[in-house]
Amino acid sequence: MNSRMAATATAMAAAVIGLVVATLTVTGASAATPVQVFVAGDSTASTYTSPQAPRAGWGQALPVFLTPNAVVVNEALSGASSKSFVDLGRLDHILARIKRNDHLLISFGHNDEKKEDPARYTEPSTTYKSYLSQFIDRSRAKGAKPVLVTSVERRRFSSAGTITPTHGAYPAAMRELAAAKRVPLIDLTASSTALFNRVGVEGTKKYFMHLKAGQYPNYPDGVEDNTHFQAAGAIEVARLVATALRNQGVLPGGSFRRLNAQIPDSATVWPSQ
């Protein structure tokens, strides 16, 4: 081989090596890109700020159970129903940011029940399903993956000491829609009912906003709220959601951590504003 041929061969080899390195670099960068998990829901899932601590939503606590491979984008809005969330442009806001293979957790029902408020009320078998379908169809059109999440149950015990259902026909309507549209379903109504029954009447007070006067500076007069969570409850409900995501294979492998660990309340992050 003469010197010109040798130089040409060397240049070609270098070009091939450069192409392989570049390809591996791009592939590695792509593999390292985390999936986003958007949460569309109501006050039970919302993120609360430090002046509202220890109140917290399960969407706020969900990052505790996910690795950096999955990033939570909590867009849950206090007071929202499936209807008002859409009408306020909050779904449009999510769709402007969601990407192919991201996930959208959809959890409404608490405020859809409010017949006295036409801006929020939906009827379970008709308008409720219609609005939920917008979340499903429009996120799928963006290449994202919707997941329906039935409403977390309230802390309402019967005289026998068991949880009394408070969501009427809404959980069943969501289950029917999930089956019809072949959407993964997290039955949080069922799993939270089982959790609250297991923990009991007194034990569940540490999950909900049952605070004594003077216990927390943000609530000097105390509060008794059987719908919204303090940190311990938000963490345990988020654990139910994360466990279901893992068990159903919704998120990629390597997305979960500490599903069976004791989690302190301090793991919850309250933004300053």
Known catalytic residues?
A: 43, 224, 228
Q: Please, which residues have CB within 8 angstroms of residue 209's CB and are 6 or more apart in sequence? A: 54, 55, 223, 224, 225, 228, 229, 230
Instruction: Measure Cα distances from 221 to 57, 215, 216, 218, 224 in Å.
Output: 22, 9, 9, 9, 10
Closest CA to 105 of 238, 229, 196, 232: 238
**What would the two tokens of residue 265 be?**
């309340």
User: What would you measure as the largest C-alpha separation in the chain, in angstroms?
Assistant: 97
Q: What angle do CA 249, 250, 255 make, to 5 degrees?
A: 85
Residue 251 contacts residue 36 (beta carbons within 8 Å) = no
**What single-letter amino acid sits at 110?**
H
Residue with tokens 């002046």: 51
